[in-house]
Amino acid sequence: MIGKRKLSHRLYTYLILLFLYAPIFVLIVFSFNSTKSRTVWSGFTLDWYRQLLQDKEILRSLYNTLAVSFLSAAVATVVGTFTAVGFFSMKKRIRAPLLYVNNIPLINADIITGVGMCLLFVSLGSFLKFKLGFGTLLIAHITFNIPYVILSVLPKLYQLDENLVDAAKDLGCTWFRAFRKVIIPEILPGIINGAMIAFTMSIDDFVISYFTAGSRVMTLSMKIFSMTRKRVSPKINALSTLLFVAVLLMLIIVNLREIKQDDKNKKQIKKMKEIIK
């Protein structure tokens, strides 16, 4: 009975994974199809990748997407890390309502956030004489990325041994030096995860970008949306495949690094126990 239950659970897991990744697998396969057909395999080719490198509009939208994603992830990681440290140092009765406010952008619908930011930028632009463009797009991405970084860093801060910081201060470290030498190395996995999530959310975003980018800047998701009005070119399959592989490699590197760090911590704990004995 137990064996059948384990088998059914395992089968259920495999079906979920198949349901999630089958569309991506189909996209990757047809990025090498020799014709534009999305249903019939006609032969292997790399022409779509070659044409992708020659399409200036798609490359420009890719450049805009990567630029916004890297910059917003970098700024959101710095701001979110310091904000998480600030939340951690607060008393619980003050921290709790602020965390509720921090969670609102995560729960809120993207279209509401996008329309709200669009109205805000248009209103400020009429007074400060600026228009929607790369700057407003970047600010919007930083805004919705910060909560993800905060929620990634806070658990690592809760796991931090406060005695380490006190010991560093007793040995003559200033607060900033203790933060840089003690706190940052301990919460670094959370910071990296937050940066990865922020980068991924920026690449994936369409709705907020659509309302805050204006007519002068186009991201990759906006470019794909504009192409769906006619016909999605297989070049998009090739580009999506490259992005998927790049993100997958980044996730593998981060996970391998975490596994290596966990093994290192376990070895250190084992040595400490041996010394104590």
Contact 62, 242 (CB under 8 A): no
Mean pLDDT of 15-34: 86
- Model confidence at 137, pLDDT cuts 50, 70, 90, reads very high
Instruction: Tell me the C-alpha distance between 230 and 226, whole Å.
Output: 8
Residues 6+ apart with CB under 8 A from 93: none
Instruction: Tell me the C-alpha distance between 217 and 76, whole Å.
Output: 21
Mean pLDDT of 241-249: 82
Residue 277's pLDDT is 57
pLDDT at 108 over 70: yes
Residue 156's pLDDT is 86
**Which three-class secondary structure state does DSSP give residue 33?**
strand
pLDDT at 112 over 60: yes
Residue 53's pLDDT is 84
Closest by CA to 69, choosing from 132, 137, 123, is 137
For the domain spanning 57-260, the CATH number is 1.10.3720.10
Hey, what long-range contacts does 5-11 have (CB within 8 A, 24 or more apart)?
none
Q: How many Cβ atoms sit within 10 Å of the Cβ of residue 102?
A: 20
From residue 8, alpha-carbon distances to 5, 11, 12 in Å are 5, 5, 6
- Model confidence at 76, pLDDT cuts 50, 70, 90, reads very high
208-227 per-position pLDDT tens digit: 999 998 888 888 888 878 87
250-270 per-position pLDDT tens digit: 778 777 777 777 777 677 667
84-96 per-position pLDDT tens digit: 988 888 888 888 8
Instruction: Tell me the C-alpha distance between 2 and 130, whole Å.
Output: 66
Mean pLDDT of 190-202: 88
Mean pLDDT of 236-251: 82
Please give the span between the terminal C-alpha atoms of the chain, in angstroms, as a whole number: 45
Instruction: Tell me the C-alpha distance between 193 and 199, whole Å.
Output: 10
